[in-house]
Structure 1
Amino acid sequence: MAHMTKQDFDILDNNGTKYLQWRVDARANLKAKGLEHTILVDGNSTSQEQAKAIVFLRHHLHENLKIEYLFVEDPKELWDNLCQRFESLERIIGPKAQYDWMNIRFQDFTSVSDYDSAMLRITSQLRLCGQATTDAAMIEKTLSTMHADNAVLQELYRERHYNRYCDLIAILRMVKQI
């Protein structure tokens, strides 16, 4: 029986559908292992560090990607090749996330939790594409897209001057339970 080792995070599949998440996870894990410099320009890594990093990265690739990049022994080269191969995903995910951001409305959700999940998914996708969204923007988006019948509540929440989106959501959840 083959030796099975646990993955630290999801394997990058052939079509790269979760490439952006994989990239964040891979970089964080390399950093935790003290190997992040192996994928950076002028990282000055030893051959042993490069070997550890390449083994780690390959361990988190789909079999077909392993075969395609079989002879790549430098983790920086592998990292760059994968970035080039899947960089188009940012051009696809970014506009979709922007569209979702423009069209998300609090009033369209039946629960605060559903809205919060959608909001966090969208902002995470925007952040992965280099378009960070502030708490203030998330708060304003939430309050400005409440149903018109809740105009008084909207103003009450604005007067509370929430600085963190999670604080507003916590209050909204509490109010929904009453």
Structure 2
Amino acid sequence: MSNLSKLEFPALSISGENYIQWCAHVKRHLKSEGIYDTILEGNKCSEKDKAKADVILHKHIDEMLQFEYSNSDNPSELWKDLKSRFDHQKEVLLPSARDEWNKLRFQDFKKVNEYVSNVFKICSTLKFCGVTLTDDDMIEKTLSTFHASNMFLQTQYRLQKIKKFSELTSSLLVAEKNNDLLMKNHQARPTGSLAIPEANAVDTHDARNYGRKWAQGRGRGRGHFIKNETL
């Protein structure tokens, strides 16, 4: 029974605060099942497909909403009712999303992935509200909000004339990884300190003593040889 009640994605809350995410999940799920047309007005889908879509919709809404719409068995009508009820979220979310975008700065994040996650979250909200941001918009937002200490790096990226935000993201992740490695190396062995010798390396002091003894021994041997040769 637990498998039957398991949700494929979070249910629509009674307040409709997650309506944007819920819509996206529903559309993807219905498309994967081949029954997306069932929520379109005036569709000619089979009763079987409509019933299947109806089950998915009812299972993924709040219990109070399930009770309220318990008599609704047409997925397109249910979809339309929910849209008219919660679609006002666009008007509520748009000003907030625009403000988040205006205040977004790359330099405020410690990790590249954290920044990228916020970019896509804001862009997704704006797109839902009818505002689409391009790759150029995201690239410019990123480069123009570098920290002042990274102006040289910013110039380098601009000279590369990157066209895709994904390409800039990849470059930033590589730079971040190299920088982390550099910092770890610096912490383990500060600049100017000697490297840790390998386990099989010869000690410098011992090598010096060995060399001196070898030279002395060679000199004595050569002297004796010459002396004996003279005799």
Fold agreement, TM-score > 0.5: yes
Q: Which residue of 2 aligns with 1:36?
A: 36
TM, length-normalised to structure 2? 0.72
Amino acid at match of 2:144: S
The answer to whether 1:131 aligns with 2:115 is: no
Bigger Rg, which one: 2
**How do 1:43-58 and structure 2 match up within 5 A?**
43-58=43-58
Aligned to 1:18: 18
**Structure 1 residues 144-159: aligned runs within 5 Å:** 144-159=144-159
Q: Distance in 1 between matches of 2:22 and 2:57?
A: 10
Distance 2:24 2:116 in 1: 22
Give deviations 1:54-104, integer Å, cap 9, x for gaps: 111101111100011111121111001100111111111222111111110
Amino acid at match of 1:49: D
- Give the alignment's TM-score, normalised by structure 1: 0.92
Structure 1 match to 2:69: 69
SS at match of 1:110: coil
- Once the two structures are overlaid, the 10-residue window that deviates more, 79-88 or 118-127, is 118-127
Structural mapping, 1:111-126, within 5 Å: 111-126=111-126
User: Would the alpha carbon gap of residues 69 and 146 (structure 1) be closer, same or farther in structure 2, given more than 3 Å must change?
Assistant: same
Equivalent residue, structure 2, for 1:109: 109
Work out the percentage of aligned pairs sharing the same amino acid: 37
Most deviating of 126-135 and 64-73 = 126-135
The list of structure 1 runs, each at least 4 consecutive aligned residues, that deviate by more than 4 angstroms after superposition, is none
Shift of 1:149: 2.7
Deviation at 1:30, TM superposition (A): 1.2
Instruction: Name the count of aligned residue pairs.
Output: 178
Unaligned runs of 5+ in 2: 180-231
Amino acid at match of 1:78: L
Counterpart for residue 94 of structure 1: 94
Rounded to whole Å, the distance in 2 between the matches of 1:169 and 1:27 is 28
Task: Provide the C-alpha distance between the structure 1 equivalents of 2:22 and 2:150, rounded to a whole number of angstroms.
Answer: 41
Shift of 1:5: 3.2
In structure 1, the gaps of 5 or more residues are: none
CA displacement, residues 120-139 of structure 1 (integer Å, 9 cap, x when unaligned): 21112112222221111100
- Larger relative contact order, structure 1 or 2 (CA cutoff 8 Å, min sep 6): 1
Distance in structure 2 (CA, Å) of the matches to 1:24 and 1:3: 23
